[in-house]
Amino acid sequence: MSDFNTFRSAIAATLAITVTSTASAAETVKWDMAIIGVGAFRVAGEALAEYVNTNSDGEFTIKLHQDTLSPAREILDNLSVGAFELGYVISSYHPGKNPLVSTLDLPFLPIKTMEQRGAVAEALFEHEDIKKEFGRWNTVPIMAVVQPNYEIIGKGTPPTTLDVFDGMRVKATSGIGDALGHFGTRLISMTGAEQYNGLQTGVIDAVAATYSAFGGFKLYELTDWYTVGMDAGTAHVTVTANRDAYEALSDEHKMLLDEAKVYAYAKSVEAQLAATDENVPIFDEYKLQRVEIPAEQVEKLRSEAAQPVWDAYIESLESKGLPGQEILDFVIAEAKKVQG
């Protein structure tokens, strides 16, 4: 059975519940959703809304708002006070607010595909400590925005060896940045919308993200090279709902959201794969050098950087009284399960 079919079966099992709510499904519910980013990154939210809007007979609608409801770093805060009902929460934009779910940002987790990443995230969302973490912000996780492993696009000397990363200023909000930091990379935190200007003004030399983001933000206009085969991981993003709004939904509408996310996961994976096929020819058209990262360099990153990054992150969580090791162990165990 394929990764996605296994994932879909697991999600479908959660839909086999007895509807006991006495609330009327005919009540009209209108949600606003804060969506950010470009290209395939938006598809999870777009597809979720599309499915709900198409299949609710007008009783439950989700209206998308691109970059208008909230600054990207403040979506969680605004969801917590009910400024709107649904939004993209990028945990690495404010790791102190979502420290446990940010475990999914760690580099070189044993997660091979986007489908596996979605399945692991869904399992983690059911963990009581994760529920409490979102609950502290009066929110609930709805689904993950799955992405392929990040690559790097940049200007100047191409990273044909790991030594080239020493001193390079890289916008990296996920574990791949932490891994490269072990080799001297200077990590710069900025939002996706700030990347182009950062490259243009020289604040950063490179960006770690997906090919969809490289293309959507037109970073190829300002860069000289891009990598293939980093295989280090990706940034975790949660489509998150205001808890009061979610709990006010009828059971029928909650089930509709569960069905919608199966559809949205499939569409998101499809869009990310298509984005790679669409953008690589554009990079070639702009004569960017394709830098194949040799397997031995990836293994060096994995062996020398992954464990220290994991250990440092767990130590930081445990020092705050949080179950860091427990969550990491849970993630690794779930990753092994979905790999069969």
The C-alpha atoms of residue 53 and residue 58 are separated, in whole angstroms, by: 7
Mean pLDDT of the region 225-246: 94
65 and 97 in a single domain? The answer is yes
Query: Which percentage of the chain shows pLDDT scores above 90?
Result: 72
Query: How many separate domains does the chain show?
Result: 2
> Is 255 within the bounds of a domain?
yes
288 within domain boundaries: yes
Q: Which CATH number is 8's domain given? A: 3.40.190.170
Q: Is the pLDDT of residue 21 over 70?
A: no
Q: What is the DSSP string of 185-222?
A: PEEE---GGGHHHHHHHTS-SEEEE-HHHHHHTTGGGS
Query: Per residue in 80-132, pLDDT tens?
Result: 999 999 999 999 888 889 999 999 999 989 998 999 999 999 999 999 999 99
Q: Assess whether 209 and 307 both reside in one domain.
A: yes
Q: In what order do the strands lie in the sheet with 225-228?
A: 186-188, 169-171, 206-209, 151-154, 225-228, 289-292
162 and 290 assigned to the same domain = yes
Query: What is the structure's pLDDT at 9?
Result: 57
pLDDT at 27 over 80: no
The verdict on 130 and 192 lying in the same domain is: no
pLDDT at 192: 85
Which residue range is the domain that position 265 belongs to?
A: 3-148+235-274
pLDDT for the residue numbered 15: 41
| Tokens, residue 61 | 């609608």
CA 77 – CA 1 distance, rounded (Å): 40
Dihedral of alpha carbons 117, 268, 263, 21, sign: positive
- Do 77 and 58 share a structural domain? yes
The pLDDT value given to residue 1: 47
Judge if 62 and 140 occupy the same domain.
yes
**In angstroms, how far apart are the furthest CA atoms of the chain?**
64
Alpha helices by DSSP H, listed for the chain, are: 3-14, 43-55, 75-80, 114-125, 128-135, 175-181, 195-201, 211-216, 243-247, 251-285, 295-301, 307-318, 324-338
The pLDDT-based confidence of 31 (bands split at 50, 70, 90) is very high
* Tokens standing for residue 34: 């804060």
pLDDT computed for residue 8 by the predictor: 55
For residues 40 and 251, give the distance between their C-alpha atoms in angstroms, rounded to a whole number.
30
What's the whole-model pTM score? 0.87
| AA letter at 40 | A
Is the pLDDT at 190 greater than 90, yes or no? no
Residues 162 and 137 in one domain: no
- Helix (H/G/I), strand (E/B), else coil: 94: coil
Q: CA 110 to CA 98: how far, in whole Å?
A: 21
What pLDDT, on the 0 to 100 scale, is given for residue 16? 40
Asked whether residue 94 is domain-assigned, the answer is yes
Residue 20, pLDDT score:
33
Domain assignment present for residue 337? The answer is no
Average pLDDT (212-239) is 93
Buried b (16+ CB within 10 A) or exposed e, 28-55: ebebbbbbbbbbbbbbbbbbbbbbbeee
- Do residue 110 and residue 159 come from a single domain? no
133 and 163 part of one domain: no
Q: What is the rounded average pLDDT of the residues 155-179?
A: 88
Q: Is 151:208 a contact under the CB 8 Å cutoff?
A: yes
Query: pLDDT-based confidence at 6, cuts 50/70/90?
Result: low
Give burial (CB, 10 Å; 0-12/13-18/19+) of 16: exposed
59 compared with 182, residue with greater pLDDT: 59
Q: Report if residue 91 sits inside a domain.
A: yes
Q: With 50 as the cut, is the pLDDT of residue 147 above it?
A: yes
Look at residue 168 and tell me if it is in a domain.
yes
Among 141, 142, 144, 137, CA closest to 76: 137
Dihedral of the CA atoms 101, 117, 240, 329 (nearest 10)? -20
**C-beta atoms surrounding 280 within 10 Å:** 17
- Which of 337, 325, 338, 339 is closest to 106 using CA atoms? 325
In a domain, 158, yes or no: yes
Q: Return the bridge partners of 237, or none.
A: 90
> Tokens 């509408």 identify what position?
253
Q: Token pair 């939904």 is at which residue?
A: 249
pLDDT, residue 227, reads 94
Q: What is the predicted pLDDT for the residue at 181?
A: 85
